[in-house]
A and B are shown apart, each in its own frame.
Chain A
Amino acid sequence: MTKLLSIRGLRTWFHTRAGVARAVDGVDLEIAPGETLALVGESGSGKSVTALSILRLIQEPGRIVAGEIRFDGMNLLTLDDRRLRAIRGNRIAMIFQEPLSAFNPVQSIGAQIVEAIRLHRRTSRRAAYARAVELLEQVGISSPDIRVHEFPHRLSGGMRQRAMIALALACKPDILIADEPTTALDVTTQAQILDLLKSLQTENGMGLLLITHDLSVVAETADRATIMYAGRVVEEGPVATLFTRPSHPYTAGLLASVAIDDLPPGERLPEIPGTVPSLLAMPQGCAFADRCPKASGAAGCFTKAPEFSAVSPRGEHRVACFLSAMSPAWRFPVPAERKTLPREMEEDEKIKAKEAA
């Protein structure tokens, strides 16, 4: 499969007064045309910074210090400003988490779409305007010829995100980067927006980089997923494989924390103990070692960072862990001391026991 976009060894560091925060520290990922790649991780894991790095939208004090981002034979990191601007919005477009703040508040959505089209295409204002109406219709906005004159704050959240998608699709990009596109929306609207993205993707054949922390979104939408932890990629593979046979303890932990179906009622949800290490003071070894139930000094978890290596024969499933040879049905263990019931439940049990006696 030919890759449309490939990122190699991307490092984006923030040079703050407190020290260097390695927000993205050696990230590799690839997207093929028509493919959906989910970039998964908790807040602060560097997924948004990775996305912004692709279009070089990182602001001071952040800086891309190393790496290569290849797109259509060009390295985006060394491209001059004019050429880069010709790619932004035209061939690689982006949609943001909060559509209200991503729209200019004093321009109608139509005017903003027209402007986006005319940035990259030599068309008349009238033609661009007709295209804007067409785009709004395509993303499922009713009476688009009226809505095109609306100001962003007059639309509902779901409507606004649809308009945002229309804006991003204005120039039929090859790649769409969606940074948590559904986080600010309620669940029903979420599903609609994801469906819309999927159907637009099949229509246009574009690659979709879907940034999210929501594993249900990943399961529903993505073909492959890349899991990030503390600025590094810890695991990557087809979604079906990742969800059934996670190889990295962090991935396994994430899955266990949402897999509540087979838990008895009243049982505490399994969680990953501890917190993410500060980006300013990263441990010498594996970033996850301190929270990892399997980590051992013998394997070298605390002394050196694990290499990213394939765990499947064809190499599409890769993981950065010394202990990757785990049983397929690896389950994240629930710590023993947490296996107590909440207090109300305990009291209920006592009452029941008394009644029985």
Chain B
Amino acid sequence: MYFALLKEFLRNRAAAAGLVILVLVLAVAALGHFRFPGDPWEMAAAPMLWPGEDWANPLGTDLMGRDIATGLVSGARVSLLIGLVSALISAIIGIAAGALGGFYRGWIDAFLMRVTELFQTVPQFVLAVVLVAIFKPSVATATFAIGIVSWPPTARLVRSEFLLLREREFVQAARSLGMGDVRLIVTQILPNALPPVIVVGALNIAHAIQTEAALSFLGLGDPNVMSWGTIIGNGREQVVDAWYICGLPGIAIVLVVLAFNLLGEGLNDALNPRLAEK
């Protein structure tokens, strides 16, 4: 079954392209420091070297003489880490809230949905900025803040799936076998509700990476960690003289976000039974 799903997924060219980009970025994040060792914050060469000008710094240096390639490798790690972990946090909170609300309905549902709406009425990014500003900016707080602001759509989606699935006969059949609520939720309903959640999760990763870049751009990133947003933020003064300082990490962000979006779309096509039948 999983093999068939993979085949279905790879038949979609865009999704396969997304997967390829993602594998490349993962490779850069995992292996990049072998080619570009050293601290991304250290001055490595003369400042403002253009890409290709000196092969010791193939992607050039910024205003402070820091190697951009080293920065990009570091940024790939930070972006993927924050993207994946915060999407995971948001998925866990969203699934928990949606599952409980959709399964039990009644006052539990009413309460959880009011909380969800509360989060949805506040602009996501502003809330993330406030959260990071209150706690000290670090990779951990950024991850946490992005996770906290992005769970409501997942919660609503999971809730709607649960509301539908809980009425299905197999749930009653499972109940008639003597299953308790927890087991019903975890082993019976959740696996059936998961496909759309996985799709939204992939898109959430892309969105989290953008949010992290935006936070770092505003100087709310971890001061000890070089991320793509940080490089862009540092280079914005020279954007006319040396566009590559902003441009290269910008391209990196675009590629990764595009990859996750393509992945999400591909998963949607592969997992959505209505589309699969065409």
Binding site for B on A (CB under 8 A): 52, 55, 57, 81, 85-90, 93-94, 96, 98, 101-107, 115-116, 119-120, 151, 167, 170
Q: How far is the CB of B168 from chain A (nearest CB, A)?
A: 7
CB of A85 within 8 A of CB of B178, answer: yes
CB of B169 within 8 A of CB of A101, answer: yes
Does B120 sit within 8 A of A, measured CB to CB? no
CB of B178 within 8 A of CB of A90, answer: yes
CB of A105 within 8 A of CB of B170, answer: yes
Which residue of A has the minimal Cβ distance to B172?
A57
Known: A107-B191, A115-B187, A151-B1. A102 touches B169 (CB 8 A): yes
Does B176 sit within 8 A of A, measured CB to CB? yes
Q: How far is the CB of A51 from chain B (nearest CB, A)?
A: 10
Known: A104-B192, A106-B191. A88 touches B173 (CB 8 A): no
Contacting residue for B178 out of A86, A98, A102, CB 8 A: A86
Over the window 151-183 of chain B, the binary record of Cβ atoms lying under 8 Å from chain A Cβ atoms (1 yes, 0 no) is 000000000000000001110111111111001
CB of A104 within 8 A of CB of B174, answer: yes
| A55 contact set on B, CB distance < 8 A | 176
CB of A102 within 8 A of CB of B192, answer: no
A-B residue pair count with CB separations less than 8 angstroms: 60
* Extra inter-chain contacts (20) besides given A88-B176, A119-B183, A151-B1, CB under 8 Å: A55-B176, A57-B175, A57-B176, A85-B178, A88-B177, A89-B177, A96-B173, A101-B170, A102-B173, A104-B170, A104-B174, A104-B191, A106-B191, A107-B187, A107-B191, A116-B177, A116-B178, A119-B177, A119-B178, A170-B177
Q: How far is the CB of B5 from chain A (nearest CB, A)?
A: 12
| A86 contact set on B, CB distance < 8 A | 178
Known: A106-B191, A151-B1. A88 touches B170 (CB 8 A): no
Over the window 180-194 of chain B, the binary record of Cβ atoms lying under 8 Å from chain A Cβ atoms (1 yes, 0 no) is 100100011001100
The complex places the Cα of A52 from the Cα of B173 at a distance, in Å, of 11
CB of B178 within 8 A of CB of A104, answer: no
B contacts with A: majority SS: helix
| A120 contact set on B, CB distance < 8 A | 178
| A93 contact set on B, CB distance < 8 A | 176-177
Which residue of A has the minimal Cβ distance to B273?
A105
Known: A98-B169, A151-B1. A105 touches B176 (CB 8 A): no
| B183 contact set on A, CB distance < 8 A | 119
Which residue of A has the minimal Cβ distance to B190?
A106
| B173 contact set on A, CB distance < 8 A | 94, 96, 102-103
Mind listing 29 A-B residue pairs with CB under 8 Å? A57-B172, A57-B175, A57-B176, A81-B180, A86-B178, A89-B177, A89-B178, A89-B179, A90-B178, A93-B176, A96-B173, A98-B169, A102-B170, A102-B172, A102-B173, A103-B170, A103-B173, A104-B191, A104-B192, A105-B192, A106-B192, A107-B191, A115-B177, A116-B177, A116-B178, A119-B179, A120-B178, A151-B1, A167-B177
Taking each of A57, A89, A104, which has the highest tally of chain B beta carbons within 10 Å of its own beta carbon? Answer: A104
| A87 contact set on B, CB distance < 8 A | 178
Q: How far is the CB of B256 from chain A (nearest CB, A)?
A: 31
Q: How far is the CB of A261 from chain B (nearest CB, A)?
A: 37
Q: Which 9 A-B pairs have the closest CB atoms?
A: A89-B177, A88-B178, A89-B178, A102-B173, A101-B169, A94-B176, A85-B178, A106-B191, A116-B177
| B177 contact set on A, CB distance < 8 A | 88-89, 93, 115-116, 119, 167, 170
CB of B169 within 8 A of CB of A96, answer: yes
The complex places the Cα of A107 from the Cα of B1 at a distance, in Å, of 11
Over the window 1-26 of chain B, the binary record of Cβ atoms lying under 8 Å from chain A Cβ atoms (1 yes, 0 no) is 10000000000000000000000000
Contacting residue for A85 out of B168, B170, B180, B187, CB 8 A: B180
The complex places the Cα of A101 from the Cα of B173 at a distance, in Å, of 9
| A89 contact set on B, CB distance < 8 A | 176-179
The complex places the Cα of A204 from the Cα of B169 at a distance, in Å, of 27
Known: A85-B180, A96-B169, A98-B169. A104 touches B175 (CB 8 A): no
| A88 contact set on B, CB distance < 8 A | 175-178
Q: How far is the CB of A34 from chain B (nearest CB, A)?
A: 22
Which residue of B has the minimal Cβ distance to A107?
B191
Q: How far is the CB of A50 from chain B (nearest CB, A)?
A: 14
| B191 contact set on A, CB distance < 8 A | 104, 106-107
Known: A106-B192, A151-B1. A101 touches B176 (CB 8 A): no
Which residue of A has the minimal Cβ distance to B168?
A101
The complex places the Cα of A99 from the Cα of B136 at a distance, in Å, of 56
Which residue of B has the minimal Cβ distance to A108?
B1
| A102 contact set on B, CB distance < 8 A | 169-170, 172-173
| A52 contact set on B, CB distance < 8 A | 172
CB of A104 within 8 A of CB of B188, answer: yes
| B192 contact set on A, CB distance < 8 A | 104-106
Which residue of A has the minimal Cβ distance to B191?
A106
The complex places the Cα of A116 from the Cα of B178 at a distance, in Å, of 8
The complex places the Cα of A86 from the Cα of B187 at a distance, in Å, of 18
